[in-house]
Amino acid sequence: MQVTYWLEHAWLDPEVEPGVVVEVSQDGRIADVRTGVDTPPPGASVLRGLTVPGLADAHSHAFHRALRSTVQVGSGTFWTWREVMYAVADRLTPDTYHALARAVYAEMALAGITTVGEFHYLHHAPGGAAYDDPNAMGEALIAAAAEAGIRITLLDTAYVSSGFGKEPDRHQRRFSDGTTEAWAERATLLKDRDHARIGAAIHSVRAVPADQLGTVAEWASTRGAPLHVHLSEQTAENDACLAAHGCTPTRLLADHGVLGPHTTGVHNTHLTDEDIALLGGSGTGTCMCPTTERDLADGIGPAVALQKAGSPLSLGSDSHAVIDLFEEARAMELNERLRTRTRGHWTASALLRAATADGHAALGWTDAGRIERGALADLTTVALDSVRTAGPLPRLGAETAVFAASAADVRHTVVGGRHVVRDGQHELVGDVAGALAEAIGALRG
* Contact (CB, 8 A) for 274 and 305: no
57 is catalytic: no
* Contact (CB, 8 A) for 7 and 47: yes
Q: Say how many residues make up the chain.
A: 445
Q: Which residue of the set 318, 324, 358, 378 is catalytic?
A: 318
Nearest CA-CA partner of 209 in 251, 248, 167: 167
13 is catalytic: no
Residue 145 has φ and ψ, to the nearest 5°, of: -65, -45
Alpha-carbon torsion 92, 94, 96, 100, what sign? Answer: positive
Distance separating alpha carbons of residues 174 and 102, to the nearest angstrom = 21
DSSP annotation of 376 reads B
Residues linked to residue 201 through DSSP beta bridges, in sequence order: 157, 228
Judged by phi (left if over 0) then psi (alpha if -120 to 50, else beta), residue 250 lies in alpha
Beta carbons within 10 angstroms of residue 267's beta carbon:
27
Spacing of C-alpha 164 from chain mean position? 27
DSSP annotation of 172 reads G
Q: Which residue of the set 98, 230, 256, 267 is catalytic?
A: 267
For residues 44-60, one letter each, b for 16 or more C-beta atoms within 10 angstroms of the residue's C-beta and e for the rest, the string is bbebbbbbbbbbbbbbb
Which residues are catalytically annotated? Answer: 267, 318
